[in-house]
Structure 1
Amino acid sequence: MFSSASGGIRTALVLTLRNNVTGLRGVTQAASWPAGDRLALQTCGARLTQPPPSPLYTASATRLFHKTVPVCSESAVVEDKGERDRLYSLVEVECRGHETAVLQSYLTFLTTAAAHLGIEVKDVKWPKKHLQRWTLLKAVHVQKKHRVQYETRTHFLTLGLPRLTQSTADTFLEYIQRNLPEGISMKVTKHELQTLPPHVKPSSHVVPQQ
């Protein structure tokens, strides 16, 4: 009798808990359970579903989309001092290559670009070419009399650009260097005009005239 009664009570208790849990599952989708109620239900042996995930727009999620704008202080602002352009009395351009036709075509491009920008080109010269020869065996296992000779020829082209400012020289040099053909190297030499330092004075101011 006791066992049957206890079994009936146990069955009724399980059915009651199942009904309560079934009704509570719909409630947990709208609101999360407090910690105390959740702990009490777990001790009774009821398996509750996990609380719904946190909404997308939370405090942690909004931080990802927050963009901080740096604030520059007045001391960090660098003012433009208005430096003047440097003056070059002469800009020498030297080109080296292994084919004369490529250098001649590049010279035509240089003179045309300088004419459009109003830059004078003078002292166009073709220095003597540089030869370098190697005499080697045709193969490793052949006799000494079977040889072959290799030769490299380096042609030079030099020209001068007189009386240019720094901005004009930098713009022109960047343009011609971007269009430099393959196999051609360039060397640029700038002759800058500078004022004499204050401690350097003419001889008339240093040595008194008698």
Structure 2
Amino acid sequence: MKTDWVPFSAALLLTGALALALGSLLIPSSDGGTDTMRIVEDQGGQWMAAAAIYLVASVFLTLGLPTTLVLLQGRGRTLGLVSAVVLEFGFIGTAGYAMLMVFFRALVRTHTIVGQAIDDVAQDAGLRVFLVAWIAGFVLGELLLGLALLRARTVPRWVPLVLILHVVAVVVSTLLPDPVGKATILLFVAGMAGIAITATAAPPNQRWSY
């Protein structure tokens, strides 16, 4: 018999993934610091909406993360636990990034940073460390989760494969056209959808033959 909290957690996981995708698609593309300042000034509402959606995504993904552990009761359990911890750093980092977006919007609106000052902010060591740690945690956690699900064999094979494919897409995103790079977040949504559906529709000990 499935645990009562699993459907709610699975729904939050999928909703969080969709929110993350929406936030990523809402953020306008920029070619540098000056262009980013122009976007924040001219499209402030869209910028703040993306920040709010990122915050919601962080909370929902955190609450939905236990769903993944339901599918990792046997093989892949240890790797799955490690992936959950690493992913949580990525989810928390998403909330931190949302707060940075709000803070940056405030700096631009009050004219605290102007001209080339934004480039100095972008080169700040603390900010760069945070951004690298956030992205690395998210990508590494997703990769470990995909490998754990491959080992556990509790979901259809396409689920971990799309998660791993998304990791590859993030790594090579600088080589992709901007619209394609942004669209790759849908692979993450597809993977989370597969996890959510499988966790609520099948017994935790079910094994897929592949």
TM-score when normalising by structure 2 = 0.23
The higher relative CO (CA closer than 8 Å, separation ≥ 6) is in 2
Q: Which has the higher strand share?
A: 1
In terms of Rg, which structure is larger?
1
